[in-house]
Structures are given as C-alpha cells and as structure tokens.
C-alpha cells in the first residue's frame, strides 16, 4: 500500500486514528458487510490456510462481493491443535479445523445467509456443546493475550495500517517525550525481566550500556533454538511491528541508532513478515533519520541464523552477526561494554521487546499490577506434547502449572496419566505431580528444580520414559555443543554414552554415580550457559524419577516400555483369537501359531519369537482383540 510520509507526531496521531476507525469497521462491520480472518501462523499454513484464503477470494470475486466482504490473514490464534481457523466478523464466529473443501459451505451459509455452520464450531470436550465465540472457549478463558501476544490473531501482520490502528507506536511516541533515563526507569519499575530464559531485569541491562558517543547496538535475539518452543516465531509472525517498536524504544533508551534482528533461518514466514514491516516503516519514515522530527535516528537490520543452537547465547550470537563461528566469548567484558564490532550492545529476547510497547503505552503501573512479587507481567508458553490443547498461550505470572496443563491445556489425551512437564528446553528440567500447584514465575520454577526458560512446556505422560527423554536432550546438546570448551564438548558426549548404555540395557548402578559426578563437573566448568545447564535434564530426571533409572540399571526393565532392549511384545494367550493378522503383519516372520486353541473356533494362539522380534510394534498396532501388550 502506498503511504504518505509521516514526519511529525501529529501526522502519526492522525494516521493512527484514521487506521483505528478502519480497523473498527473491520471488526464491527456496517450492516450487510462481513470480514473474514484466516489464520496465517506456521501451523495453520502447513494445513493449507493459504488455500482457504484463496478459495474465499475466489468466491468473493465470483459473487461480486468485493465491496461487502473482505478476507485477509491474521497472526496465530494460538490454539494450534484446532487449526486452521477462520473467524467471521462482526459475529466473531470462530470456525476450527477448516479445510479448503469447507470454504464453500462457510461462504454459502455464513457469509451469504448469515447462518452459523455449526459442524465447524469448536466442541467443548467436557460439555460436548458447540462454542461459537473464541472468548467462550475454555482454552482462552484463563489467558491474558494482550501484552506479548498483542494483536496476534486480530490484525493482519502484513498490513501496517492495521498495526497503526491497533495501538502500534503509541509507546514509542510516549518514550520520545521522555529522557533516556526516564524510559529505563519506567521499564525498571514495571519489573520486566528478560523472557529469553535467565530473567535478568531488562531495565538494568539497558542501564549497563555506558552513556558515551560511540556507536551502540540493540540486538533482538530471535534465535529460538529450544526444541518445542515457538513463542518468538509466533510473535514476529503475528505482529512484527510490536517487536520493532520495542526495539526502537530500547534503542532510544540506550542511545543506539541501529538494531539487529537475529532470526532463525528455519522461520521463513517470520523473516518475510519482519522484512516487509521494516520496509513499510522505512517507506513512511518511521524508521530512518529524524523520526517524527525528534532527531531520533534508528534503522533495523535482519540477520539470519544458520542452524546453531548455541547462537542463542548472546556472545555467540554477536560472533555470528560478525560472520564468525557462533562460539561464545568469555564474559566479562559483557556485551553492554564490548559487544557487536567491539561497541556497547544490548541483546534482548523477542518476547521481552514485545512487552516493552505495552509498558510505555499503558504505563508501568499497569504492567506491574499483573503477576507475582517475583515476576511481573505475563509469559507466553508453547504448550506441547501429550496435552489435548496444543498451542501458544499467554498467562499472567502466578498461574499454576495445573491450570496451564488441565484448564488451558485440557488435560492429557486418552485418559493417560500425567507424568511430567518439561520446561526450559534442553537447559531446563522436569516437574512432576507434586509441583503442579506451583505458581509460575522465575523464582518458583528454579526452586522446584527446573527453570522458566524461553517458554517451551512439553507435557509427558506415562508412556514416556524419562531416561529416554534425558538421552534425547543429551543427543541434542552433543550435536549443538560448539566445541570450544572441553567440559561441554567431551563431557556431554560421555553423558550421552552412559545414557545410551543404560537405555540399551547394559547399565550398572555405578553408571548412575558417574552420571551424577560428570553432571556436576560439566555444570561448574563450562564456559557458557549452554554447557552450564546442559546436564539439567539429567539431574532433574534423576532426582524426580530415581526409580526409573534404577529399574533400568538394576532390573533391566523400562517401566514405560520405550527402551527397545528392555521391553518385549507379548501375546496374552487368553485374549488371542488366532486371527493370524499379527503374523501376516510381522515384517520379520517372528510370530508363529502354537498348538493351543484360541478364542475363535478352529484357530490357534499365536506366539512371538523374542529372538527374531525387532520390536517394530506393527503387531500391536494391528491387533483388534487387544491381545498384544508391551511388558
């Protein structure tokens, strides 16, 4: 869209109020008009939400309704397991799991006749009732999605006017009327702590940057490497302007004129939207020289990661921007003193920067009123794994894990038993049943033996083996250790060797002792946070699931029946119908018929030859009589 330049604050305010009116018209619609929003988050894009969008566009054109019906994409709705979403305004009807072939029905029924397509509404698993509106769905009820996820699922992330209509840059305008020190104080008073994992007070981090004349840099850490975490990606995809505004405020506060976004190359959609937003802001003059006539100059640059987890560590990230191997540097000197190209730099996480505009726009009091004594504001979690409602949630600090898993997450699928929730990714730990009523904040999660981390929250049930989970994280860390310091490079490899030995059924109780010793050595001797926290998954599972480790090394059994060498498939004679299906499915001919009569007449019980069995599980998957078990 062509934009006139915005050169003064008044021009910006005029533009904002114009855009706000347009956006209001989209949400509330004049009589006879409708607006359709299709989810354009990565999860829904994978389920062909672009196809849905195109189909709507086609139908609107076919019916000549271009003046009455609009359709565009919006950022992530967060309830990813129910996607793709289509939301129809002004009724705010939310359709879930929409397929391209459903579009015609929505169009003919809802758009043309103003009737709801009931079969595409969300069904509450408890009440079995259809829920028409988003805010009536249990998943959304305990959430507070207007700080870090501000605008997500509401505005079109590729349209600057929608962002302007939704309050973007109001925070910046206020900041530009304050001194740098006042901005830092505002953020300090709000109690904002870094959302990347460590929870360091953001205002304090900014205040460490010296007030000198040399070039300074603000860097946004979007190298979201924790497997199972997608908060930063969704925030950038859903409302890139919010992150840019946060970066500009931070840049103003520390006296930086250049900001660098470091985003994973694995996030093509986020990168494209970020670049588009930056381009549009440059075109209207909100990025560049003398912004709003205040004399504040600021430019944004995008740099891509290249698939190295360690680059999430701030000094490694700086090395990577400098075109070097992404290896951490010893600190001090801290980046605030000597960072990018040797100049003072400040590295903030995406979610942290996304919270900043809210604080400046609404005032620190409002932000500080949310949360616990330890941590203010909200936290975005990527809730995943064995939980019914997989998705992106934003909750006030102080929400309990139980609320997160059961009220918002909808509990564990298939009536399985909850076993653990893993927070903090490869640097974090597992929390169990006894920790479920812990209110979430930085301090409480550490006290419970895990950490907040960047926001990945993976739920595990009785079918997950915790030794195997520890091994999984160790495999990841071994791959991603940069190799600079030997405790991490060699130590994590040794840990993985031991864990592999245990999972293969060759472990001994002495191995557990060695694991403990190694873990504490790696923790105290590694150079950067990656190594220092690398063994958290081992230590926390050894503490909470000591019995599982013992079962592996003493009885040589895997209680969750995951470790292949420690379990077997077994046909329960009483249940076997002798249908021969398992025997036919077996890829290695390990299942044979015995002489004992089975349930069905003229059929015989089957038996698995354990020496031949490769434990592929195809017999169990196929059995219609529930006769095959793991033991």
Partner 1 sequence: MAKLQPGAVKQITEICNRYKNEPTPTMMILEDIQNEFGYIPLEVQELVSELTGIPVSEIYGVVTFYSFFSMTPKGKYVIGVCLGTACYVKGSQLVLDKFSEILGIKPGETTADGLFTLDVLRCIGACAIAPAVSINGKVYPQLKVDNVKNVIEEYVAKEA
Tell me if 348 sits within 8 A of 202, measured CB to CB.
yes
Task: Give the dihedral sign, CA 595/598/604/610.
Answer: negative
Q: What is the 3-state secondary structure (H, E, C) of 415-471?
A: HCCEEEEEECHHHCEEECHHHCCCECCHHHHHHCCCCCCCCEEEEEECCCCHHHHHH
Q: Is 335 in the site for partner 1 (CB under 8 A)?
A: no
Tell me if 415 sits within 8 A of 162, measured CB to CB.
no
Q: Which of 607, 613, 549, 563 is nearest to 586 (CA)?
A: 613
Within positions 63 to 82, which residues make up the interface with partner 1, using CB under 8 A? 80-81
Q: Which of 26, 34, 150, 303 binds partner 1 (CB under 8 A)?
A: 303
Q: How far is the CB of 356 from partner 1 (least distance, A)?
A: 23
| 3-class SS shares of the chain: helix, strand, coil, % to 5 | 45, 15, 40
Rounded-to-integer distance, Cα 520 and Cα 505, Å: 24
Q: Which of 236, 390, 397, 586 binds partner 1 (CB under 8 A)?
A: 390
The H or E element that residue 10 is part of is: helix 9-28
Q: Which of 59, 308, 397, 502 binds partner 1 (CB under 8 A)?
A: 308
CB of 38 or CB of 460, closer to partner 1: 460
Q: How far is the CB of 424 from partner 1 (least distance, A)?
A: 11
Q: Is 230 in the site for partner 1 (CB under 8 A)?
A: yes
Q: Which of 326, 357, 410, 429 binds partner 1 (CB under 8 A)?
A: 326
Rounded-to-integer distance, Cα 191 and Cα 185, Å: 10
Q: How far is the CB of 406 from partner 1 (least distance, A)?
A: 18
Q: How far is the CB of 578 from partner 1 (least distance, A)?
A: 24
Decide: helix, strand or coil at residue 291: strand
Binding mask 438-477 for partner 1 (x = CB under 8 A): ------------------x-x-x---x----x--xx--x-
Q: Which of 15, 195, 233, 552 binds partner 1 (CB under 8 A)?
A: 233
Q: Which of 415, 369, 422, 436 is nearest to 396 (CA)?
A: 369
Q: Supply 114's token pair.
A: 């103003």
DSSP code for 561: S
Q: How far is the CB of 266 from partner 1 (least distance, A)?
A: 6
Q: Which of 12, 37, 321, 412 binds partner 1 (CB under 8 A)?
A: 321
Q: Which of 309, 364, 545, 549 binds partner 1 (CB under 8 A)?
A: 309
CB of 166 or CB of 476, closer to partner 1: 476
Q: How far is the CB of 363 from partner 1 (least distance, A)?
A: 33
Q: Supply 364's token pair.
A: 């620190």
CA dihedral 73, 75, 80, 82 (to 10 degrees): -40
Q: What is the 3-state secondary structure (H, E, C) of 490-530?
A: HHHHHHHHHHHHHHCCCCCHHHHHHHHHHHHHHHHHCCCHH
Residue 322, φ and ψ in degrees, nearest 5: -80, 5
Q: What is the 3-state secondary structure (H, E, C) of 238-252?
A: HCHHHHHHHHHHHHH
Span interacting with partner 1, options 147-155, 163-171, 320-328, 397-405, rule CB under 8 A: 320-328
CB of 170 or CB of 233, closer to partner 1: 233
Surface-to-core class of residue 97, CB atoms within 10 Å of its CB (0-12 exposed, 13-18 middle, 19+ buried): middle
Span interacting with partner 1, options 13-21, 176-184, 302-310, 507-515, rule CB under 8 A: 302-310
CB of 108 or CB of 475, closer to partner 1: 475
Within positions 244 to 273, which residues make up the interface with partner 1, using CB under 8 A? 265-268
Span interacting with partner 1, options 291-299, 304-312, 404-412, 605-613, rule CB under 8 A: 304-312
Q: Supply 85's token pair.
A: 């979403």
Span interacting with partner 1, options 206-214, 363-371, 384-392, 393-401, rule CB under 8 A: 384-392
Within positions 609 to 628, which residues make up the interface with partner 1, using CB under 8 A? 617-618, 621
CB of 43 or CB of 251, closer to partner 1: 43
Q: Is 385 in the site for partner 1 (CB under 8 A)?
A: yes
Decide: helix, strand or coil at residue 308: coil
Q: Is 324 in the site for partner 1 (CB under 8 A)?
A: yes
Span interacting with partner 1, options 116-124, 150-158, 314-322, 569-577, rule CB under 8 A: 314-322
Q: Is 42 in the site for partner 1 (CB under 8 A)?
A: yes
CB of 370 or CB of 451, closer to partner 1: 451
CB of 320 or CB of 372, closer to partner 1: 320
Q: Is 46 in the site for partner 1 (CB under 8 A)?
A: yes
Q: In what order do the strands lie in the sheet with 69-74?
A: 69-74, 34-39, 86-89, 93-95
CB of 339 or CB of 425, closer to partner 1: 425
Rounded-to-integer distance, Cα 421 and Cα 544, Å: 12
Q: Could you list the residues that contact partner 1 (CB under 8 A)?
A: 42-43, 46-47, 80-81, 83, 224-230, 233-234, 265-268, 303-309, 320-326, 341, 382, 384-386, 390-391, 422, 425, 456, 458, 460, 464, 469, 472-473, 476, 479-480, 482, 617-618, 621
């Amino acid at each position: 869209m062509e934009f006139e330049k915005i050169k003064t604050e008044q021009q910006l305010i005029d533009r904002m109020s114009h855009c706000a009116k347009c956006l209001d018209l989209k949400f509330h619609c004049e009589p006879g008009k409708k607006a359709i929003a299709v989810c354009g988050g990565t999860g829904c894009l994978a389920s062909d939400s672009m196809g849905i969008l195109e189909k709507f566009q086609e139908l609107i054109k076919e019916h000549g309704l271009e003046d009455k019906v609009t359709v565009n994409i919006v950022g992530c709705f967060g309830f990813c397991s129910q996607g793709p979403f289509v939301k129809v305004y002004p009724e705010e009807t939310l359709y879930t799991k929409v397929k391209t072939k459903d579009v015609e029905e929505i169009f003919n029924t809802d758009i043309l006749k103003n009737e709801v397509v009931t079969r595409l509404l969300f069904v509450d698993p408890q009440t079995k009732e259809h829920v028409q509106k988003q805010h009536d769905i249990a998943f959304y009820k305990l959430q507070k999605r207007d700080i870090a996820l501000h605008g997500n699922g509401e505005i079109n992330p590729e349209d600057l006017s929608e962002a302007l209509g939704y309050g973007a840059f109001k925070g910046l305008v206020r900041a530009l009327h304050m001194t740098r020190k006042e901005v830092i104080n505002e953020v300090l008073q709000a109690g904002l702590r870094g959302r990347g994992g460590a929870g360091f007070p953001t205002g304090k981090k900014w205040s460490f940057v010296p007030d000198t004349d040399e070039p300074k840099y603000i860097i946004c850490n979007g190298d979201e490497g924790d497997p199972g975490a997608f908060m930063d990606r969704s925030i950038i995809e859903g409302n890139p302007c919010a992150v840019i505004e946060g970066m500009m405020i931070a840049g103003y506060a520390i006296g930086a004129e250049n900001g660098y976004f470091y985003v994973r190359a694995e996030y093509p959609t986020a990168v494209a939207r970020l670049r588009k937003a930056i381009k549009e802001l440059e075109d209207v003059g909100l990025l560049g020289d003398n912004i709003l006539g205040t004399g504040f100059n600021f430019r944004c640059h995008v740099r891509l990661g290249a698939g190295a987890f360690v680059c999430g560590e701030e000094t490694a990230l700086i090395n990577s921007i400098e075109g070097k191997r992404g290896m951490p540097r010893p600190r001090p000197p801290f980046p605030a003193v000597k960072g990018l190209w040797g100049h003072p730099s400040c590295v903030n996480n995406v979610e942290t920067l996304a919270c900043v505009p809210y604080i400046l726009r609404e005032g620190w009091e409002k932000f500080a009123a949310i949360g616990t004594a330890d941590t203010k504001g909200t936290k975005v979690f990527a809730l995943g794994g064995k939980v019914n409602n997989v998705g992106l949630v934003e909750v006030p600090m102080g929400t309990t894990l139980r609320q997160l898993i059961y009220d918002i997450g909808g509990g564990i699928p298939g009536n399985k038993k909850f076993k653990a929730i893993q927070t903090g990714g490869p640097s974090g730990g597992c929390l169990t049943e006894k920790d479920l009523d812990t209110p979430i904040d930085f301090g409480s999660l550490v006290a419970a033996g895990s950490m907040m981390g960047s926001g990945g929250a993976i739920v595990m049930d009785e079918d997950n083996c915790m030794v195997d989970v520890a091994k999984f994280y160790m495999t990841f860390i071994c791959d991603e250790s940069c190799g600079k310091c030997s405790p991490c490079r060699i130590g994590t490899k040794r840990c993985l060797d031991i864990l592999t030995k245990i999972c293969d059924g060759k472990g001994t109780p002495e191995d557990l002792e060695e694991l403990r010793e190694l873990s504490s050595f790696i923790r105290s001797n590694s150079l950067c946070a990656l190594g220092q926290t690398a063994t958290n998954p081992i230590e926390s599972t050894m503490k909470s699931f000591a019995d599982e480790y013992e079962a592996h090394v003493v009885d040589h059994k895997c209680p969750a029946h995951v470790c292949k060498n420690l379990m077997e498939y077994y046909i329960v004679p009483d249940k076997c119908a002798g249908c021969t299906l398992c025997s036919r499915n077996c890829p290695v001919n390990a299942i044979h018929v015995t002489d004992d009569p089975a349930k069905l007449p003229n059929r015989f019980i089957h038996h698995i030859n354990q020496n031949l069995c490769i434990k592929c599980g195809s017999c169990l998957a196929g059995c219609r009589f529930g006769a095959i078990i793991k033991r």
